[in-house]
Structure formats: structure tokens, C-alpha cells
Amino acid sequence: MSAEFVERFMRFWAAPDPAALDELLHDDAHLVQPLMPEARSRAAYAQSTRRLLAVMPDLHGRTHRWGPTEDGVLIEHTLAGTLGGKALSWDLTDRITLRDGRVVERIAYFDPLPLVLGVVKRPRAWLPLLRASFTRR
């Protein structure tokens, strides 16, 4: 079951589409990641994903490796895209708890400093980021 989930995860991050989150997340999924508000439902995470894609429309991910855990999987991957006209990428590890093959909890672990510095160095991205940040939640 873990391998099937990881295949769906990889397909999603190859070309993220918030409408496709039904295949990955339970409706009451709990998602935690640096620099973004905690999401306590699939709908909340879909909204966060839409805001992120508004400022990085070419965002995509590449999985490097994964391993099963007692209640889910650990996935090491890289997210990358263009922000303010320049490439930006960051490595992260997701600790994912699964129930019936879908996420009930995801905790993303990464050092946010390179991402913050990347944003600071791209003034063209500031206005789109502000707009996305203040989009009605």
C-alpha cells in the first residue's frame, strides 16, 4: 500500500493540481509545514496550494527516496519552481501518516532559511507573495 501511495504522491508533485488532492488526502487531514499556515482539512490545504501555485505556477517536485514507517511513509524530495524570474528549490522530508492509503497527517521538515533568503533576493516576487498571503482564507 505504501508504494501505491508514493506513486500517487509523485504524480501529484510532478504537476500539482489542488483538485487532485482527493486522491492523496482524507478530508480531515492535518498538514504542517514551515512558512505556511497549518491546514486541518483537505480544503484548507488545497487553498494553500492554490496560493503557492499563484506565485510559483511551475512548482513541481521530484522524489529521491522513500521508506515505509509503522503507520505511513517518509518521503525525501525536492520542490522547485520559478519565483520572481529566478529558479528556486528546496529539499524536504515529509513524515506522512496514512489511513486507508490516504494522508491523515503530514509533517514537512526542511530548513526554511534558504527559501526565505530566496524570497528576499527576488523583489519581483514580493507583490505576488503579498497578494497570495492576504487572499481570503
**In order of start, what are the domains of the chain with their CATH numbers?**
2-133 (3.10.450.50)
pLDDT bracket for residue 135 (50, 70, 90): low
Q: Average the pLDDT over 43-68 and give the result.
A: 95
Tell me how crowded residue 14 is: count the other CB atoms within 10 A of its CB.
Answer: 11
Taking 90 as the threshold, does the pLDDT of residue 13 lie above it? yes
Q: Average the pLDDT over 85-97 and give the result.
A: 95
Q: Average the pLDDT over 70-81 and give the result.
A: 97
Q: Average the pLDDT over 105-126 and give the result.
A: 89
pLDDT at residue 137 in the model: 46
pLDDT at residue 129 in the model: 76
Taking 50 as the threshold, does the pLDDT of residue 7 lie above it? yes
> Which region among 27-41, 56-70, 114-128 has the lowest average model confidence (pLDDT)?
114-128
DSSP 94-115: EEEEEETTEEEEEEEE---HHH
Look over the chain and give the mean of its residue pLDDT values, rounded to a whole number.
92
